[in-house]
Amino acid sequence: MVLLLAGGCSLAGRSLGGYVDDKLVKGAVKRRFVSQNVGGAGEVKVDTFGGTVYLTGTVGTAEQKSDAEIAAWQVGGVAQVVNDLVVAQPPGSVSALPRSPRRHQLSRRLPGITRVDLGRPGGPDLAYDAGGRVVASIYTVAWQDLIDSGLTTLPPPGRPIDHVSMYALTERPNRPGVHYAVILWHVSAREAAALR
């Protein structure tokens, strides 16, 4: 204890064990960033308190922001992740107007979802609420795949899943046949209903 006080460290209302646990989680999150080559990890600041990981700083893309949050969730002992990372505007792109994202096909059914970032092929699209929090991962699945293998083949999104909902999607030229949107909610059913 004397070493902590002499070194200028503060327990900030935590027990010594809680302080040590938070330091271990913080170190594990940073190591995960390095091992998974999370883009812009040098720009990401990690803080922990009571099992909650706080991510702040600047990253280059929305995908890097999401990857950092997923990597943090994969560390044992993490109870919650608060992702306050800011996506930097690419150099040379100057606009006084906010960028108008392409509307997702579910936008009318889920009006509380303010933005959906398209994911990698085979990966989920990420749905955000008005506060910029990732509230759901959305997979587009062909009906035949659902019949043949169900939902077991969906890669885990790296975040806790509270509940699942599904919607039929209209056929499109680039996506022939019947498809379903499988929504893996990362918030409770009550919070998801409040988004509408």
Can you give the CATH number for the domain in which 122 is found? 3.30.200.270
The count of structural domains within the chain is 2
Q: Is residue 104 part of a domain?
A: no
Confidence band of 6 (pLDDT split at 50, 70, 90)? very low
Q: Is residue 35 part of a domain?
A: yes
| pTM value > 0.75 | no
Over pLDDT 70: what percentage of the chain? 71
Q: By residue range, what is the domain housing residue 10? A: 2-87
Q: Is residue 23 part of a domain?
A: yes
Q: Is residue 135 part of a domain?
A: yes
Q: Does residue 72 share a domain with residue 124?
A: no
Q: Is residue 103 part of a domain?
A: no
Q: Does residue 190 share a domain with residue 123?
A: yes
Lookup result for tokens 């990597």:
71
The better pLDDT of the pair 184, 38 is held by 184
Q: Is residue 166 part of a domain?
A: yes
Greatest extent of the chain over all pairs of C-alpha atoms, in Å = 69
What is the rounded average pLDDT for all residues in the chain? Answer: 76
pLDDT one-digit tens code per residue, 152-184: 767 766 788 888 888 887 766 666 677 888 888
Q: Is residue 188 part of a domain?
A: yes
Q: Does residue 82 share a domain with residue 10?
A: yes
pLDDT one-digit tens code per residue, 46-67: 889 888 899 888 887 777 888 8
Burial of residue 119 (number of CB atoms within 10 Å: 0-12, 13-18, 19+): middle
Q: Is residue 92 part of a domain?
A: no
Lookup result for tokens 């293998």:
149
